Amino acid sequence: MTQAYFKRYFSSINSSLNSIELDKLIEISLLIKKTNILNKKILFFGNGGSASIADHLTVDFINAVGIRAVNFNNSSIITCFSNDYGYKNWVSKALEYYADDGDIVVLISSSGQSKNMLVGAKKAKLMNLSVITLSGFSFDNPLRKMGDINLWVDSNAYNIVEMTHHVWLLSVADYIIKTNDKEDL
Judge whether 122 and 132 are in contact, CB under 8 Å.
no
For residue 63, give its domain range: 21-179
Q: Is residue 131 part of a domain?
A: yes
Q: Is residue 14 part of a domain?
A: no
Q: Give the residue-averaged pLDDT of 64-80.
A: 95
The edge-to-edge listing of strands for the beta sheet with 69-71 is 69-71, 42-46, 104-108, 130-135, 149-152
Q: Is the pTM of this model over 0.85?
A: yes
Q: Is residue 26 part of a domain?
A: yes
Q: Is residue 169 part of a domain?
A: yes
Q: Is residue 12 part of a domain?
A: no
pLDDT at position 57 is: 98
Give 73's contacts (C-beta < 8 A, 6+ positions apart): 51, 54, 55
The half-sphere exposure of 176 on its side-chain side, counting CA atoms within 13 A, is: 25
Q: Give the residue-averaged pLDDT of 40-58.
A: 97
Per residue in 73-99, pLDDT tens?
A: 999 999 999 999 999 999 999 999 999
Compute how many other C-beta atoms are within 10 angstroms of the C-beta atom of residue 31: 17
pLDDT at position 182 is: 58
Alpha carbon distance 54, 137 (integer Å): 19
Domain CATH number, residue 35: 3.40.50.10490
Alpha carbon distance 6, 8 (integer Å): 5
Q: Is residue 4 part of a domain?
A: no
Name the residue among 164, 107, 168, 158 with its Cα closest to residue 137: 158
Alpha carbon distance 48, 18 (integer Å): 25
Name the residue among 100, 152, 149, 88 with its Cα closest to residue 124: 100
Q: Is residue 67 part of a domain?
A: yes
Q: Is residue 39 part of a domain?
A: yes
Q: Per-residue confidence at 185, pLDDT binned at 50, 70, 90?
A: very low
Q: Per-residue confidence at 180, pLDDT binned at 50, 70, 90?
A: confident
Work out how many domains the chain is built from and give that number: 1
